[in-house]
A and B are shown apart, each in its own frame.
Chain A
Amino acid sequence: MKPSKLERLLKNHRLLFGGLAALLLVFTSLFYLSQTERDLPASLVTNRVLLFVLWYINVILIVVIVFVLLRNLVKLLVERRHRTLGSTFKFKLVATYVGLSLIPVLALFFIATELLRGSIDRWFNTPLAPVLERGNAVAQAFYDRVEGTALRDAGFALREIEGIDLDQADERPRLTSRLQELLAELDLDVLAVYEGREFVRAVLDSQSGIPDLPEPGRDFLDEAVRNGKAVRMDVSSGPGRLVLAGVSNRGKTVIAGTLLDPRVAEQTDQLVRDFQAYRQLEVQKDDLRSSHVLLFLMVTLLILLGSSWVGLRLARRVTLPIQALAEGTRLISLGDLGHRVEVEADDELGVLVESFNRMTAELASNKEALERSSRDLVEANRLAAWNEAARRIAHEIKNPLTPIRLAAERMQVKNEQGDPGLGRTVEEGVEIIVREVVHLQKMVDEFSRYARMPRPSPMPVDLERLVVDTLNLYRDVKPGIELEARVESEAATAQLDAEQIRRALINLLDNAVEATEPPGRVEVAARRQADGGLEIRVADTGLGTPPESRDKLFLPYYSTKGRGTGLGLAIVHRIVTDHDGTIRVEDNEPHGTVFVLGLPNG
């Protein structure tokens, strides 16, 4: 089964498609790896990879469209320059298709893009934004207040224990006791004392649910010593959020810890996270817009590619049969009737191609029939000519026979009468008989020569020299007759049988010189025809040839002069025909005859 065009297209471009797909896979994998290495959130990586894939496809599409359009544009321009048949039509069709799709598609693309931009901007201008912002502000204010309270309590506790010397071991129970009191008094969950980075004492509310004393960390303690205060939100301790506030003075740091209600902490955190999620979306607004624009662009480019492809395909479907038909017409005009147009077309053009092929077949058939008829006609003409020749031969033979018979009868009568003038009569009779027999002999020789004429052997001939030499034979034969040879340079050399052509020219010039009365002119001209064939014209300014005798001029033994053998023009005709040529008679202007010899292979 023959593969479809799509299958062939896919097969031809399989390597290209495969290569592009493999490149997409490799680039996407590399891009994915580079993005995951940056510890980005999974959703962000997915969005970026999607953007990359869309961008890649669009770049490839742009490259393909530019390549296809430029390639075809160049081809069309070259075809137009070379005036290839159908190029203008193809150019117009493609331009129309691309133009018709380009304008609405681009308009649609820009409108859709603007609408999308507006829609995305409106998404971020909804009342939701200020709600989330206010929620975040409330949460931040709550955190500020909790941190402020913890800092205030830590400061208060620091001032309360300032009088206790931490280096004295016997002061430690007093410190612990005071810390316990402050823990209860300030409603704290943790209270700890550090000397620099060194832990001194800490108390913990056993009801708070905090499993162990939280570790503030060196950074926190350093920051508190350096700045006088430090605050941390610790999410790892216990059931809720632990706010740690440290206040430091002269190397002594008190850390106050307050555990937020888990439900309040969760709600507050959620408010903050929601606001942050919203801001992330807002930050990715450009990416979102880009992905949609790329998607629209991809569709736009696909439509453009499709329309230009369809335009080119349609143009090719129309112009290919036209080009094939034009080529077919050219070949047929050159004679190649066996040529057939082989183009796949299943519409009206297909009908046209079929009709053309049918017409060509009929032409070939008609030509064959015509040739057959022509051959038959030639045969019939030849038979008729031979009939005519036989009649004329009989006539020509009968003409001398009559005086012979009469001379013989006269001699017989004179002899029976015993006429004394018999001797004289015999002399006259013998003279007549001999003369007529000589004439008969001459006629038989000429006919024999005509019948034995060999096939021509064409060779390169200096035609100019041949014509001039032949004309020179007739110089001064008839005073007052001007002889002229005109051979164009393109016809100076020809492929002919020189002897036969010389003989044909002599026969024609014999007639021409004889038919022309002084003052007159006989001219032999030779030139090349447009198709490369040779044309020789022998013209005289004689009395001309009557139209009624032109059909018989070239028949053997036909003569308008009443003397001669009547084979001169028949021999010319035979020579020309043997050279695959033609001969015709025309009137010369203002009077006279022109014999035109057409020698296509000369």
Chain B
Amino acid sequence: MRTVLTLLGLLLFAAPARPGPAIHGLQAALDGNRVVASFALTDAFDGKLSRRIDSGLPTPIVYEIELHKDRKRWYDNRIDGTTLEVVAVHDAVARSYSVHFKLHGELVESRTVRDREALAAAMTRIEGMPVFTLGDDTPSGRLIVKVRARLGSRTLLSFIPASIDTDWKDSNKFRFRR
């Protein structure tokens, strides 16, 4: 029994940690009563995503963004949540990529880029995006922003749908006073 457990432990620890898509450099700050977030998504542009974009099909990356009240000794309290959907559409004839930004379902920005690097940057680097507006009902205290990315879906055993998500990433904490 001990041998089996040892072998299992070895196998678990020996399994190489495969780098996957992840949120990095998440920074949140207050700009007046707005919460502005900046972050980057790394290792998202694999061959599958690139092929899909190049095929001309609308390809989204959906960032789920949540605002929480930070609690030291208990789970954080979710105050608000939104989604930032970044959709890329490749026009092979015009040789350009259109990138649309939809915050909470509303189109907030569209860009046209001509190369893959610019496209990857547009889809995965979010700079100073105002994601939440704080109101009178927002509790005072330390707040924190959490972000994860949804990169589409895949099927297990060819018929069980499963979404491809990154882990949740926490921002720096910032203080809000009404």
Contact = CB atoms under 8 A, between A and B. Distances in A.
Interface of A: 37-41, 44, 55, 58, 113, 136, 143, 219, 231-233, 235, 269, 272-273, 275-276, 279-280, 282-284, 286, 289-290, 293-294, 297
B139 to A, nearest CB: 32
A273 B92 contact: yes
Given A44-B57, A143-B95, A284-B57, 16 more contacts: A55-B161, A219-B112, A231-B114, A233-B94, A233-B95, A233-B96, A235-B93, A269-B93, A272-B93, A276-B54, A279-B54, A279-B55, A282-B51, A286-B158, A290-B158, A297-B159
Interface string B76-108: 000000000101001011111000000001000
Contact of A283 (B57, B60, B105, B161): B57
Contacts of A233: 93-96
Interface of B: 51-52, 54-58, 60, 85, 87, 90, 92-96, 105, 112, 114, 154-155, 158-159, 161
25 contacts: A37-B105, A38-B58, A38-B85, A38-B87, A40-B58, A41-B57, A55-B159, A58-B159, A136-B92, A231-B114, A233-B94, A233-B96, A235-B93, A235-B94, A269-B93, A273-B92, A276-B54, A276-B55, A276-B92, A279-B54, A280-B57, A283-B57, A286-B155, A289-B158, A293-B158
A275 B57 contact: no
Nearest to B157: A293
B93 A273 contact: yes
A279 B52 CA distance: 8
Contacts of A143: 95
Contacts of A272: 92-93
A273 B55 CA distance: 9
A457 to B, nearest CB: 79
Contacts of A294: 159
B95 to A, nearest CB: 6
A318 B61 CA distance: 60
Nearest to A58: B159
B84 to A, nearest CB: 14
A297 B155 CA distance: 14
Contacts of B90: 276
Contacts of A269: 93
B29 to A, nearest CB: 28
B101 to A, nearest CB: 13
B103 to A, nearest CB: 14
A118 B105 CA distance: 40
A290 B158 CA distance: 5
Given A44-B57, A233-B95, A280-B55, A39 B155 contact: no
Contacts of A286: 154-155, 158
A39 B95 contact: no
Nearest to A241: B93
A40 B60 CA distance: 10
A137 B95 CA distance: 13
A284 B52 CA distance: 9
- Looking at B52, B56, B154, the one whose CB has the most chain A CB atoms below 10 A away is B56
Contacts of B95: 143, 233
Nearest to B53: A283
Given A37-B105, A283-B51, A276 B56 contact: yes
A269 B155 CA distance: 34
A298 to B, nearest CB: 10
A87 B54 CA distance: 62
Contacts of A39: 58, 87
Nearest to A220: B112
A293 B90 CA distance: 30
- Looking at B57, B92, B158, B159, the one whose CB has the most chain A CB atoms below 10 A away is B159
A561 B48 CA distance: 119
Contacts of A55: 159, 161
A279 B158 contact: no
A113 B57 contact: no
Contact of B92 (A38, A275, A290): A275
Contacts of B92: 136, 272-273, 275-276
Contacts of A136: 92
A129 to B, nearest CB: 13
Contacts of A273: 92-93
